[in-house]
């Protein structure tokens, strides 16, 4: 029987703004988190991610490499960001295959939403459980799978 290689990251190489709160356990490394932001427990924020000022990232959320989030955002429980579209039929180990995601300011993302590599403009609400597969260029409320414009906010 083998012995696993255990890696302990926790919080490492993070650029924190003033007044940031992190609830442990959290796996946060190689990223930047803006002033007054909040990170809940059981969150992973990977290297190269930027989180804006006064943004809340709730528990059980995964923010992968290549994501930037603006100011005054709310990312609810269990939101999953995706950077690999499995174009080769499986997960790519080559970061050159991964795509980025840009979330504007004043964006709220509901619990259980999945965000593929897209751009989301400012002043958007993504409903709980929505799957965002295409860029969102018009402020408003988006729901469903795939996420579609529902109405103005």
Confidence bin at 91 (pLDDT 50/70/90): confident
For residue 36, how many other CB atoms are within 10 A of its CB? Answer: 17
* pTM of the entire predicted model: 0.94
pLDDT digits (tens, 9 = 90+) for 103-121: 999 999 999 999 999 999 9
Show the domains of the chain with their CATH numbers.
11-84+97-151 (2.160.10.10)
Tokens representing 112 are 């259980």
Residue 93 makes CB contacts below 8 A (sequence gap 6+) with none
């Amino acid at each position: 029987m083998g012995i696993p290689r255990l890696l302990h990251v926790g919080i490492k190489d993070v650029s924190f703004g003033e007044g940031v709160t992190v609830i442990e356990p959290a796996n946060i490394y190689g990223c930047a988190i803006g002033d007054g932001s909040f990170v809940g427990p059981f969150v992973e924020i990977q290297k190269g991610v930027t989180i804006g000022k006064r943004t809340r990232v709730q528990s059980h959320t995964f923010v992968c490499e290549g994501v930037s989030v603006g100011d005054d955002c709310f990312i609810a429980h269990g939101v999953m960001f995706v950077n690999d579209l499995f174009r080769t039929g499986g997960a790519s180990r080559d970061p050159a295959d991964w795509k980025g995601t840009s979330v504007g300011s004043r964006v709220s993302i509901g619990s259980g939403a999945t965000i593929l590599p897209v751009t989301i403009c400012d002043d958007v609400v993504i409903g709980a459980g929505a799957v965002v597969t295409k860029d969102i260029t018009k402020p408003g409320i988006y729901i469903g799978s795939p996420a579609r414009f529902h109405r103005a906010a």
